[in-house]
Amino acid sequence: MTDLSVLKVFVGADGRGGNPLGVFLEGHEIPGARRQAIAKELNFSETVFVDDAASGRLQIFTPAAELPFAGHPLVGTAWLLKQEGYAVEAVNPPAGEVQVRFDSETTWIRARPEWSPLIKFVQYDSPSAVDALEGAPDGVGFAYCWAWEDESAGRVRVRVFVPEHNIHEDEATGSGAVAFASHVGRAVTVNQGVGSLLVTELHEDGSVSVGGEVALVETRAYTG
């Protein structure tokens, strides 16, 4: 038995939105062969198993597959490690070291856009056209559907559909925001899902930071 922390990551105004995330801070107690089945059972868009809290070494699983990198799991796990008293400067998924920083209520990670999965960016004429979508357009496996809310201010309306990972709609997609900011070549503020909020920054070395607020939903014993 080990504890499972359930978080919401990239929480928006008035506590709206936020992508649910499961984190096992004592993931080393769970054999690697069981992790995919547990992620499928929990059915969060991602579940994190922390193998070494001091170094931030971890694995990330969707219900269907392991990921080398994902944004909202790393933001959420970094926040949780800090809450538990760890001096967090980086987390270490299989993709490589991801720098972390904390700014008021915002937790930031800095990553390479090429670590993000292959994403198809589909632009629409208006936020209302994005809101009207019922699923991935044309069955695209990882569809980042977006429209400008205010182009001069860099605000975009986004919905993301990931049928290839058995995720009909992802509430907040940090890896998508990293890749998208690189794609449009500017910092953007992303209004995603039912109310999630993601902010980005571009850096001269080509890396992108994505940040947002995190909230703890519950910590419960997991007996599996």
User: Residues 14, 96: one domain?
Assistant: yes
Residue 49 has pLDDT above 80, yes or no: yes
My answer on whether 167 and 190 are in the same domain is yes
Model confidence at 140: pLDDT above 90: no
Q: Are 92 and 56 in contact (CB under 8 A)?
A: yes
166: containing domain: 115-210
Is 90 exceeded by the pLDDT of residue 167? no
Residue 139 has pLDDT above 80, yes or no: no
Position 141 pLDDT exceeds 90: no
CB 155 within 8 A of CB 148: yes
pLDDT of res. 186? 97
Band (pLDDT 50/70/90 cuts) for residue 169 is very high
pTM: 0.95
- H or E segment to which residue 50 belongs: strand 47-52
Residues labelled catalytic: 46
CATH number at residue 86: 3.10.310.10
Give how many domains the chain has, as a whole number.
2
With residues binned 3-state (H G I as helix, E B as strand, rest as coil), the percentages for the chain, rounded to 5, are: 25, 45, 35
In whole angstroms, give the CA distance from residue 188 to residue 155.
Answer: 6
Q: In the predicted model, what is the mean pLDDT of residues 13-36? A: 95
Return the number of other C-beta atoms located less than 10 Å from residue 108's C-beta. 18
Q: Are residues 197 and 218 in the same domain?
A: no
Nearest one of 55, 59, 56 to 22, comparing CA atoms: 59
| The pLDDT of residue 112 is above 90 | yes
pLDDT digits (tens, 9 = 90+) for 175-223: 999 999 999 999 999 999 999 999 999 999 999 999 999 999 999 999 8
